[in-house]
């Protein structure tokens, strides 16, 4: 999957790929840096310029999760390594917690950016 990734964002599949990679990166940071709170957030498909006027999700709910994570003392908001949608923990794609995939992503990102984590 990473070998065919469109790092310049020119292909249709690049958006979905980028969401997987960002979620995997958040889980990897949580694993490698246990003292750092790292949580991926899905704001939903909201009506913005990017999402379009017909996007079915609630624009108001789209940012509430980030606010909750930044200000809450609830255990779900303080548990690193998660993936949240509308203030609820969700199960991400199985590859997100695959350590081999995480390491492969880190190596690929380091090569693309010339910056190691």
Which residues are designated catalytic? 15, 19
Count other Cβ atoms within 10 Å, centred on residue 61: 14
The answer to whether residues 81 and 28 touch, using CB atoms and an 8 Å cutoff, is: no
Give every CB contact of residue 113 below 8 A, 6+ residues apart in sequence: none
Count other Cβ atoms within 10 Å, centred on residue 25: 18
The candidate with the shortest Cα–Cα distance to 2, out of 15, 19, 16, 21, is 21
What span, in angstroms and rounded, lies between the C-alpha atoms of 39 and 83? Answer: 6
């Amino acid at each position: 999957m990473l070998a065919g990734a469109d790092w310049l964002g020119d292909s249709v599949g690049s958006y979905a790929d980028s969401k997987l990679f960002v979620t995997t990166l958040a889980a990897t940071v949580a694993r490698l840096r246990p003292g750092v709170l790292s949580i991926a957030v899905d704001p939903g498909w909201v009506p913005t310029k990017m999402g379009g006027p017909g996007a079915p999700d609630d624009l108001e709910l789209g940012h509430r999760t980030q606010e909750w994570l930044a200000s809450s003392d609830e255990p779900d908001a303080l548990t690193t390594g998660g993936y949240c949608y509308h203030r609820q923990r969700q199960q991400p794609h199985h590859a997100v917690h695959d350590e081999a995939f995480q390491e492969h992503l880190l190596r690929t990102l380091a090569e693309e950016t010339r910056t190691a984590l």
